[in-house]
A and B are shown apart, each in its own frame.
Chain A
Amino acid sequence: MTEAGGYNFAYLDEQTKRMIRRAILKAVAVPGYQVPFAGREMPLPYGWGTGGIQVTAAVISGQDVLKVIDQGADDTTNAVSIRRFFARTAGVATTTRTAEATLIQTRHRIPEHPLGEGQILVYQVPIPEPLRWMEPRETETRKMHALSEYGAMHVKLYEDIVHFGRIATSYDYPVRVNGHYIMSPSPIPKFDNPKMDRMPALQLFGAGREKRIYAVPPYTRVESLDFEDHPFEVQRWDEACALCGATDSFLDEVVTDDRGGRMFVCSDTDHCQDRRAGAPAGKEEAAQ
Chain B
Amino acid sequence: MVALANDLPPGFADPVADANAVFRAVLSAISYPGRIVPLPVAPAPPPPLSLAAAAILLTLADLETPVWLSPGLDGDGVRAWLAFHCGCPLVVEPGRALFAVTESWDMLSEFSPGTAENPEQSATVILQVDSLRPGRGMSLRGPGIPDVERLEVPGAGPSLVRALAGNHRLFPRGVDVVLAAAGRLACLPRTIQVTEEASCMSR
Contacts and interface: CB of A to CB of B under 8 A. Distances in A.
Interface of A: 8-9, 14-15, 17-19, 21-31, 33, 35-36, 58-62, 117, 142-143, 145-147, 178, 180-181, 198, 200, 202, 216-221
A14 B117 contact: no
Nearest to B121: A26
Pick from B19, B27, B115, B143 the residue with the most CB of A within 10 Å. Answer: B143
Nearest to A60: B20
Given A30-B191, A33-B120, A9 B27 contact: no
A122 to B, nearest CB: 12
B27 A62 contact: no
Given A14-B16, A21-B23, A61-B24, A26 B176 contact: yes
Contacts of A24: 27
Given A143-B117, A146-B116, A29 B16 contact: no
A217 B140 CA distance: 15
B124 interface: yes
Interface in B112-128: 115-120, 122, 124
B97 interface: no
B30 A62 contact: no
Given A146-B117, A147-B116, A219-B143, A28 B189 contact: yes
Nearest to B23: A21
A27 B27 CA distance: 11
The contact size tier of chain B is 35 or more
Contact of A218 (B19, B31, B119): B31
B19 A17 contact: yes
Given A18-B62, A26-B119, A30-B190, 13 more contacts: A14-B19, A18-B59, A18-B60, A30-B172, A61-B17, A146-B115, A146-B117, A217-B31, A217-B191, A218-B143, A218-B144, A219-B143, A219-B144
Interface in B46-89: 59-62, 64-65
B15 interface: yes
Interface in B12-56: 15-17, 19-21, 23-24, 26-27, 30-32
Given A18-B60, A61-B21, A219-B143, A27 B189 contact: no
A63 to B, nearest CB: 9
A19 B31 CA distance: 18
A49 B19 CA distance: 25
A13 to B, nearest CB: 10
A181 B117 CA distance: 12
B189 A29 contact: yes
B62 A202 contact: no
Contacts of B27: 21, 24-25, 28, 59, 202
B172 A25 contact: no
A51 B172 CA distance: 24
Contacts of A26: 119-120, 122, 176
20 contacts: A14-B15, A17-B23, A18-B19, A22-B60, A22-B98, A24-B27, A25-B30, A25-B60, A26-B119, A27-B120, A28-B30, A29-B30, A30-B120, A33-B119, A59-B24, A59-B27, A61-B20, A178-B142, A180-B172, A219-B144
A218 B62 contact: no
B155 interface: no
A33 B59 contact: no
A197 to B, nearest CB: 12
A217 B143 contact: yes
